[in-house]
Amino acid sequence: MEVLRVGTFLAPNMEQVYEAIAIAVGAELGMSVELVVEADYENCANDVNDVCFVCSLPYVMFQRDGISPSIPVAAPVLSGKRYSGLPIYFSDVIVRIESKITEFAQLRGKSWAYNEPMSQSGYGITRFHLVEIGETNGFFGEITEAGFHEEAIRMVADGRIDGSAIDSQVLAIEFRDHPALRDELMVIASLGPSTIQPVTVTKRFDLEKRLRIQEVLLHLHENASTRELMSYGMTDRFVAVDDHSYDDIRMMLDVCEKANFLELR
C-alpha cells in the first residue's frame, strides 16, 4: 500500500489530533499513513513530506525565497466567539499572576521567551508588534528560545521568565489540560489576529489529488469520531485557504524587513 507521509511542525499538545486527521485523509485516499514529528524545517524545504501541518511564517518565507514545494489547501477554524468563524488565531501575552506587569509596555527590560524563530505566533508577531510601537532598539532584557510554546508557558509559570507570546489555541488547551496554570498565569495582551497555520500538500501530487485531500479536510467535522477529536483540539472545522490567505503574514514580514528588524532584541 502506498504511504502518505505527513509531517507536523506544530505544538506537541495537538499531535493526536493531527494524527487522527492524517489517518482520515489516508483512509480516503486508500493509503497508509506515516506521521512524522519534525524537529526543524529541513524536510519542509526539501519536499520530503506529502502533507504538512506547518506554521504560516516559514511557508511564506520559503515561498518568497523560491522554495515552494507545497500548497496550502485548508486551515482550521477554532472554537470560540473570538475567532468569528474565521481561520485565525491570536498570540496571547502571558505573565505570572503575581507579576506587577499588566500591559505589554511594562515588559520593557524584562525577560522574554519565544518558542522558536520560525514561529509566527511566538516570534513573527512579537517582532511586528515591536516595530508597530517603535520599540526596535533593545526592548526586552534577556531573550530565551524555549523550543515549544508548552515549555515557554512553564518558564513563565515557574518564574524563570517574565513573559511570552503563546498561540491562543495552544494556551487554551494547556489551561484545560492543566487547570493549575490558570492560577499561575494571566493574559495581559493579545497580538494579532494572524491567519492560522495551514495544511499544505506537495506539488508532486496532481491537482486532482490535492483537491481530493482538500475535500476530505473540509468535511472532517461531519464524521462523529473525527469531530470529537477535532473538538479536543478546540477546532470546529476546516475551511479552504490558498496562498493569498497568508498575505497578512507577508505584510508583517515586509514591515519588519523594511525596519531592518528581523531579530528580537
pLDDT of residue 15: 83
3-state secondary structure of 239: strand
Strand-pairing partners, residue 166, are 92
pLDDT of residue 73: 97
| CA-based nearest residue to 106, from 64, 147, 157, 141 | 141
The Cα–Cα gap between 264 and 48 comes to 30
> For 56-87, where are the E strands, in sequence order?
70-78
- Grid coordinates in use for 158? 515557574
pLDDT of residue 186: 98
Phi, psi of 235 (to 5 degrees): -120, 130
155 Cβ contact list (under 8 Å, min separation 6):
113, 144, 146, 161, 164
Strand-pairing partners, residue 208, are none
Write out pLDDT tens, residues 105-115: 999 999 999 99
| CA-based nearest residue to 75, from 93, 47, 55 | 55
Residues of the chain with pLDDT under 50: none
Based on its alpha-carbon atoms, the radius of gyration of the chain, rounded to whole angstroms, reads: 18
Q: Say if residue 87 is preceded by a cis peptide, omega within 30 of 0.
A: no
Q: What is the DSSP letter of 64?
A: H
pLDDT of residue 36: 84
Write out pLDDT tens, residues 234-259: 999 999 999 999 999 999 999 999 99
